[in-house]
Amino acid sequence: MSSTSGPDFHDMIENAPCGYITLHANGRIEHVNLTFLTWSGHAADQMVGKRFSDFLTIPGRIYYETHIAPLLRMQGFFNEFAIDMLNAGGEPLQMIANASERRDPDGKPLLVRLALIKATDRRRYEQELLAARELSIAAEKATQEVLRLEQETSDLREQFIAVLGHDLRNPLASISAGARILDRTVQSEKEHQVIAMMQTTVMRMASMIDNVLDFARGRLGGGITLECEAGKPLEPALTQVVDELRLAWPGRVIEADFAIDQPVNCDRVRIGQLLSNLLGNALTHGAFDEPVVVHAETRDGSFELWVANVGEPIPPAAIKKLFEPFFRGKTRVNTQGLGLGLYIASQIARAHGGTLTAISTPAETRFTFSMPLG
C-alpha cells in the first residue's frame, strides 16, 4: 500500500482474518464480509436483509435473543461469547464473537457490529474438558459408592469378629471351669496331669483365638486399636502373664525380672498379649531343660521388654520371615500354632510406635520389644 492512497479499508473489512457482520438496529443483516461468506458458503444476497437469528442454530437463536441481545442493549457491547451459526449446508459453524452497538447521540442503537472467529477446535477442547469433568464426577461417585459398600462390609465384619470371639471364648471358659472342678476331686497323679494339660490347651486355644481375631481386624478392618493408660502400673499385667504360663507349662522354668520405674503409656492388655505370644513362642521352641528369661525395664527414655531362651538357633533365612503371618518354624506337630503369634506381637509393637526384633545365636534366641516412653 502506498502512503498517498491511504489504507485499503475495503480489503481490511472484506478480507479481514475474521468474519465481520453488521446488523441494523432491528436485527436484520446489513453487511457481511467476504471472509464470513467464504467460511459459511452463503452468498451475500442470501444473507443481507435477513434476520441475523435466521443464520443461527436453534440453541444459538435462543441464546442470542435471551442473553446476547439484552446484554448488548444494556452494555453496548458483549465480548467473547460462543455462538453456533449455520453454514449454507445447514451445518453448525461454531464461533466465538465480539459484538458492539453503534448509537446515535441520544443513545438509540443504529447498528450492531459483530466480529466472528472460528472456534471449532476451541469448542472441541471445551467439550473434552467437560467430558473429562463429567468422567471425573462419575469416577468420584463410583469411588464414593465403593467406599460406602466397603464401610458397610467393614461394619459387618467388625460385628462378626466380635460375635465370633465371644462365641469361641465361652465354650473354652466352660471347659476350663469344668477342669478346675474336676481337679479338686480327682485322686491320681495321672488324672491331675491330664487336667493340667487340658488347662494348657485351653490357654493356648484362647491365645490363638485372640491372635486370629486380631489378625482378622488388622488385615481386614480397623487394625489393632490401643487403650493406653499411662497412669496404671504395667508390672502386674506382665506378672500375671508369666504366672499363667508357669501354670500352663509345669516343669518349665521362667525367670522374670522387672525394673519398670517410670510410667509406660501403653495398652497393658496388649503388652500382656505381646509378652504372652513371645513367652509361648520361647516355651514351644526353646530347650526344655533350660530356663526362659523375661526381662522388662525403663531406661533412657524407652521401655524395653525381652524374652530369651536357649535352643537351636533360628536359621538366618527364617529370621526375616518370623514376623509374617502364618509363618511356622519346624516344631512338634502337637504344639503347632497358627503362626500368628509373632505377627500379632509385631503389630502390637508397631501400634505402640515401637519395634520388635529378634536375634538368634547358638547361645541364645532373644526377642526384644522396645518403645519410646515420651
Which residues are near other proteins by CB under 8 A?
26-27, 51, 53, 57-59, 61-63, 65-71, 73-76, 78-82, 84, 101, 103, 107, 109, 123, 126-127, 129-130
Cell, residue 275: 509378652
Quickly list H helices, 41-119.
Answer: 44-47, 58-63, 69-75
Of residues 80 and 227, the one with the C-beta less far from other proteins: 80
Of residues 62 and 142, the one with the C-beta less far from other proteins: 62
In the complex, the smallest distance separating the C-beta of residue 28 from other proteins, rounded to whole angstroms, is: 8
CA torsion through residues 239, 245, 247, 250, sign = negative
Of residues 70 and 233, the one with the C-beta less far from other proteins: 70
Alpha carbon 237 to chain centroid distance?
A: 36
Identity of the amino acid at 240: Q
Alpha carbon 154 to chain centroid distance?
A: 14
Tally Cβ neighbours within 10 Å of residue 263. 15
In the complex, the smallest distance separating the C-beta of residue 136 from other proteins, rounded to whole angstroms, is: 14
Of residues 96 and 310, the one with the C-beta less far from other proteins: 96
Of residues 78 and 249, the one with the C-beta less far from other proteins: 78
In the complex, the smallest distance separating the C-beta of residue 37 from other proteins, rounded to whole angstroms, is: 23
In the complex, the smallest distance separating the C-beta of residue 49 from other proteins, rounded to whole angstroms, is: 13
In the complex, the smallest distance separating the C-beta of residue 25 from other proteins, rounded to whole angstroms, is: 8
In the complex, the smallest distance separating the C-beta of residue 64 from other proteins, rounded to whole angstroms, is: 9
CA distances (Å), origin 132, targets 2, 122, 142, 143: 52, 15, 15, 16
Quickly list H helices, the chain.
Answer: 9-14, 34-40, 44-47, 58-63, 69-75, 120-185, 189-220, 235-248, 268-285, 316-321, 341-351
Of residues 6 and 105, the one with the C-beta less far from other proteins: 105
Closest CA relative to residue 210, chosen from 251, 180, 244: 244
